[in-house]
Amino acid sequence: MESRAATGEAAGLEVVDLGRIDYLAAWELQLRSVEERADRRRGDTLFLCEHPPVITCGRGTRPANLLAPDVPVHEIERGGDVTYHGPGQLVGYPIRLLPPGGRDLHAHLRWIEERLLAAVAALGVTGHRRPGLTGVWAPEGKLASIGIAVRRWVTYHGFALNVETDLAAFRAIRPCGLDASAMTSLAKVLGASPGMPAAREAVARAFRVA
């Protein structure tokens, strides 16, 4: 595992680009980082990465939503239902210590949505929220899924933004309980991919100024 770039720090948040990394390796890195953050041995950090094809099942996964997986499947401790990760999707894991007086997980979810809305706007897409459905949407469908966990009041897990993802991969599941056709990507909305480097930079910039 190699961190290709630690792209600066502002407002107490360091953004680290892990490149393409196995899902379980990223999960183990999160667990270590949560303990380091809780013990004040590191600051708030956003890990950005891509994963090889994998399906993850959160605590709210219903078995009926796992249809015909042909890639590794992992049960994990984040909230939410089943989702897919793969190349062309930008995954972000905010390791964030919630301070006394700010220990509101719903507010943390809204914070992630807000930063992603700013990022996709910078890439030319007007996103929005949908009442009762966590995530970021465009008129064409769902752009980003979000699921989190918390330990010692440090958040982990996070978001998956479809940049140039193969949307056909979602047909193996009912992503977050939705039909696979509900998923879209920046490439589909824009008619051409903005490119992963541009998406990483837009997301990093949006979270640094939060």
Active site residues: 176
**The tokens of 93 are what?**
């894991």
- Cα-based distances in Å from 50 to 99, 186, 196: 29, 15, 10
Taking CA atoms, 83 is separated from 90, 128, 162, 189, 196, in Å, by 14, 20, 12, 20, 20
Q: Which residues contact 203 (CB under 8 A, 6 or more apart)?
A: 48, 90, 92, 115, 116, 119, 161
Host H or E run for residue 84? strand 82-85
In the chain, the largest separation of any two C-alpha atoms, in whole Å, equals 46
Helix, strand, coil shares of the chain, percent, nearest 5, are: 30, 35, 35
